[in-house]
């Protein structure tokens, strides 16, 4: 019998997030100079920082290459930031090997087709409310929040609350 997502929350030690469509709403603003600008939710940022300070491993895997994204996320204490990734499964497996992580203890939040394959190899595949239908179909949890609008916080907060780490400082 397959476990539902609430039963898995207590096993989570690691979070993996896509960027565009998960940590952002997927909108890209183009400056006059051609720079691609994104916005990120401050509440997602708080939750990411809280997860890092609570001892969780966090990995960012994105096909996008925006270095401003790296700067923002590294400022939250995240060290595993992989941008410009074409093969997310290989990147994810290398992360697991390097940090001795069991895939069953991982929550992955993705929103589109490139996330399907890595989401199939982890314990808790999740997505924002506005994810692609194919991603929703394989997710054990679909946030009530859209990408870039608090979906990452929703997931992190649930895990930390179940594990008694949300309000302890």
Q: Which tens digits make up the pLDDT trace of 110-125?
A: 999 999 999 999 999 9
Annotated binding site: 18, 20, 111
CA dist., res. 84 & res. 154, Å (int): 26
Q: For residue 48, which of 169, 168, 157 has the smallest C-alpha distance?
A: 157
Which residues does residue 80 pair with via DSSP β-bridges, in sequence order?
59
The domains found in the chain, sorted by start residue, are 5-162 (3.40.50.1000)
Integer-rounded Cα Rg, in Å, for the chain is 15
pTM for the model stands at 0.95
CA dist., res. 94 & res. 101, Å (int): 10
Cite the beta strand spans of 89-167 per DSSP E.
106-109, 124-127, 141-142
pLDDT in tens, 41-89: 999 999 999 999 999 999 999 998 888 999 999 999 999 999 999 999 9
Annotated binding site for substrate: 20
Annotated binding site for Mg(2+): 18, 111
């Amino acid at each position: 019998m397959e476990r539902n997502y609430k039963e898995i929350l207590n096993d989570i030690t690691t979070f993996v997030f896509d960027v565009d469509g998960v940590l952002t709403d997927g909108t890209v603003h183009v400056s006059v100079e051609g720079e691609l600008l994104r916005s990120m939710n401050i509440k997602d940022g708080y939750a990411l920082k809280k997860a890092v300070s609570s001892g969780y491993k966090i990995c960012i895997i994105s096909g996008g290459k925006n270095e401003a994204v790296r700067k923002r996320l590294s400022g939250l204490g995240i060290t595993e930031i992989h941008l410009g990734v074409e093969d997310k499964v290989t990147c994810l497996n290398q992360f697991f090997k390097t940090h001795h992580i069991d895939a069953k203890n991982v929550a992955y939040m993705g929103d589109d087709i490139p996330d399907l394959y890595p989401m199939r190899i982890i314990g808790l595949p999740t997505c924002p409310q506005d994810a692609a239908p194919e991603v929703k179909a394989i997710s054990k949890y679909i946030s009530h929040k859209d990408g870039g609008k608090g979906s990452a916080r929703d997931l992190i907060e649930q895990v930390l609350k179940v594990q008694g780490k949300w309000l302890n400082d």
